[in-house]
Structure 1
């Protein structure tokens, strides 16, 4: 476990300790905000109203996935109690104390997987967007790279549990 911690710390320092980090943080903040949650609800509601049975199925699948994912996320986060990155620039105030897993990344990959199943033509777009949300959390100084991997795995696994 110490190897992962050292590797995470070095990765965070590499991505955050340079002269462009303020500019990078502005862009990352905007990207990260798209993963705060309200956008997911808005997308699901719009599709439910405008895409008939497929939109309703999409909405219900997203709803079920988040009902499963959120308690698991909370349980993991409060069991591991991994402290957030230290000795690196931090550009936002995180909503909670611990870093593992990244909730933003979990939610983004959950949404991307469900969206790509219901709307296959969106596959590349939604997974690139999910990757950007995860990366933004690292670039804002609030998560380690392994937190992002854990979050992506949680989101994907939860989506797979509810997908038809």
Structure 2
């Protein structure tokens, strides 16, 4: 068995354990709201507000980092072509309709950790809240059944790495 098969087996086992827990309608609604908070259009609105407030360097970091993150994200999505849980597992349906076909890496989680990392550099007092939100975005994507755990872990690493790179280049 190669390493990718081992990782997938671990993911399926962990994912199945999570899905075996009782889902409640209110928790699913909360998961949807958290997931929605990491949708791309909200990031654009946030960047516009930051630009309007005079955070030009931060907005430049967000723009550069986002371009890098999306490029790497799309290369990984197209390269790995990992099926989402609903497509990979028998008798399973996700709680939401995913935005694209493939699972790896989680773009919502990547974006959330990218934003958390960048904003924490400018607003350190928000550090805990930002990373708490980002972690919950990743958990919500698993809970809603659209990602395996390693999809979100790699998404978090990708977003953080792209933020660090953009900050390193522009600051």
Residue in structure 1 matched with residue 5 of structure 2 by the alignment: 2
Residue in structure 2 matched with residue 157 of structure 1 by the alignment: 161
Of 145, 149, 155, which aligns to 1:145? 149
Of 37, 41, 44, which aligns to 1:38? 41
Of 93, 101, 104, which aligns to 2:97? 93
- Residue 18 of structure 1 deviates from its aligned partner by 3.0
Distance 1:110 1:122 in 2: 14
Runs of 4+ in 1 over 6 A off after TM superposition: none
Distance 2:122 2:47 in 1: 11
Q: Give 3-state SS (helix, strand or coil) of 1:9's partner.
A: helix
- Residue 21 of structure 1 deviates from its aligned partner by 4.5
Residue in structure 1 matched with residue 29 of structure 2 by the alignment: 26
1:45-101 deviation line (CA, Å, top 9, x unaligned):
212212x3xx11111110111111111100110000111112444101111111000
Distance 1:145 1:74 in 2: 19
Distance 1:134 1:18 in 2: 17
Aligned length: 161
**Alpha-carbon RMSD:** 1.3
Residue in structure 2 matched with residue 17 of structure 1 by the alignment: 20
1:84 paired with 2:84, answer yes
The unaligned stretches of length 5 or more in structure 2 are: none
Distance 1:146 1:26 in 2: 23
The unaligned stretches of length 5 or more in structure 1 are: none
Instruction: Report the TM-score when normalising by structure 1.
Output: 0.93
Residue in structure 2 matched with residue 107 of structure 1 by the alignment: 111
Instruction: Report the TM-score when normalising by structure 2.
Output: 0.89
Distance 2:48 2:81 in 1: 34
1:132 paired with 2:132, answer no
